[in-house]
Amino acid sequence: MIRTIGLGLLGETRPRLDDVNLTVARGDVLALIGPSGSGKTTLLRCLNCLTPFTSGRIEIGDVAIDAAARLDVALLRRLRQKVGFIFQGYNLFPHLTAAQNVALAPHHVLRLPRADAEARAKTLLDRVGLAARAGARPAQLSGGEQQRVAIARALAMEPEVLLLDEPTAALDPELTQEVLETLRALAAGGQTMVVVTHEMGFARHVATQVAVFDAGRIVETGCPDDVFTRPREERTRRFLARVVRPGE
């Protein structure tokens, strides 16, 4: 479970996050949508304490951290062990194979024996449809394959929640569908996820709840059907009118 209570982050001229309150239950998929620059990625980075917040509180599982405790190294380590973060740019080690990228953290951080870490990597690459590409290096993989390796790498740490920052932003439509199918399968398997996305079809048909961001605040939350077909807020209606394509 994830909860933010009064989360805030001051900017130079206005808050980058302003009194953000969210609850994500175990097994839920929360889609964060809204205009570019509205605070979605900032919130995601705050959830993993990659960006320090200045007020409020974050709870992930049994770990709680507030702005005053964000320099507690032991507490940060406990929180980050519960979270897998998947970036837009994959961030794979270019000199390692797909399997080596996935096995690295379980071996060095979780102290799994090398053979066990390699077996876990093999299982996870098969889960994301890349068993046959285990020996390929990132430069030999398509963008969609690299992102699926990044997802397998995050899953290798057995996180309670996956945080995904525009996981399809750098991909063409065909490769986008590869990654979205992987995320659909994870959602069906009960993986808790918070996904920043501009893929409205994914937000509507895969997410269990949607939060709409505008100017650092959540202006509307609800189940996808309510947000997309019966939005309460004018800002939500204006945003959806601009971005939703026919059939989504």
CA–CA gap between residue 153 and residue 117 (Å, rounded): 11
Tell me: the pLDDT tens digits for 34-77?
999 899 999 999 999 999 899 999 999 999 999 888 778 899 88
Tell me, rounded to whole angstroms, the distance of Cα 174 from its chain centroid. Answer: 21
Burial (CB count within 10 angstroms: exposed 0-12, middle 13-18, buried 19+), residue 206: buried
- pLDDT attached to residue 169: 87
pLDDT at residue 66, as a whole number? 92
Residue 136, C-beta contacts closer than 8 angstroms, at least 6 positions apart? 97, 98, 145
Would you tell me the crossing angle of helices 143-155 and 98-108 to the nearest 10 degrees?
20
Q: What pLDDT score was predicted for residue 131?
A: 96
pTM over 0.75: yes
Give the pLDDT confidence score for residue 62 in this predicted structure. Answer: 93
C-alpha distance across the termini of the chain, in Å: 29
> How much is the pLDDT for 144?
92
For the chain, the domains span 88-158
Q: Which residues of the chain have pLDDT under 50?
A: none
CB 95 within 8 A of CB 139: no
Q: Burial of 59 by CB count in 10 Å (0-12 exposed, 13-18 middle, 19+ buried)?
A: middle
Per-residue pLDDT tens digits for 221-233:
999 999 999 999 9
Cα-Cα-Cα-Cα dihedral sign, residues 66, 69, 70, 73: negative
